[in-house]
Amino acid sequence: MVKLTKEESQSLVDLANEARQRAYVPYSNYPVGSALRTKTGRIYTGVNIENAAYPHTMCAERVAIFKAVSDGESEFDAIAVVTNNAGSPCGGCRQVMAEFGLDTIVLIADGTGNLKKEMTVAELLPEAFTPDHLQ
């Protein structure tokens, strides 16, 4: 597992908070931004994108992960998630994160950019169902 410096963590939080300003949230008014760092050092941001047909809404974390995977990246160091109140990733996002590595660092911050929690995906989703279970 990689160890992030305070500056690296804050940079990811700041990028996620900046991305959050572009969230499409006309129904909940709950903007979420994320910033994902791959093991190659590339950064992918994401925002939550709502839809009038609620099940088709997409979370910021999954947007960033899917963008990275679509560019050929599938190994991640860290992901920052920023909401107004430092809300935690949903179960669906936790499961998608687990798909790509239980050691990925998860940074959770509030809308002022203050880091509130730091943990691994394994800590966020104990006893995760992973590809190894399909062997």
- Quick one: average pLDDT of 34-61? 97
Of 1-5, 54-58, 97-101, minimum mean pLDDT range: 1-5
Q: Is residue 18 in a domain?
A: yes
| Residue 89 predicted with pLDDT over 80 | yes
Indicate whether 87 belongs to any domain. yes
State the DSSP H helix or E strand holding residue 45, giving kind and residue range, or none if neither: strand 43-47
Whether residue 82 is predicted with pLDDT greater than 90 in this model: the reply is yes
Averaged pLDDT, 46-54: 97
Q: Residue 12 domain-assigned?
A: yes
The mean pLDDT value of the chain amounts to: 97
Of 8, 18, 61, 73, catalytic? 61
Indicate whether 64 belongs to any domain.
yes
> What pLDDT is stored for residue 45 in this prediction?
98
- Annotation says 18 is catalytic: no
Asked if the model's pLDDT at residue 75 lies above 80, the reply is: yes
Q: How far is 74 from 68, CA to CA, in rounded Å?
A: 7
Find out whether 105 and 4 touch, Cβ atoms under 8 Å. Answer: yes
pLDDT average, residue stretch 93-119: 97
Number of domains in the chain: 1
Q: Which residue matches tokens 């279970």?
A: 133
With a threshold of 0.85, does the pTM exceed it?
yes
Q: How confident is the model at residue 2 (pLDDT cuts 50, 70, 90)?
A: confident
* Maximum C-alpha span of the chain: 44
| Structure tokens belonging to residue 126 | 């104990």
| Mean pLDDT in residue range 93-108 | 97
Residue 131, domain member (yes or no): no
Position 134 in a domain:
no
Domain CATH for 114: 3.40.140.10
Could you tell me if residue 65 is inside a domain? yes
Domain annotation covers residue 78: yes
Burial state string for 40-73 with b = 16 or more CB within 10 A and e = fewer than 16:
eeebbbbbbbbeeeeeeebbbbbbbbeebbeeeb
The whole domain housing 34 covers 6-125
Average pLDDT over residues 110-115: 98
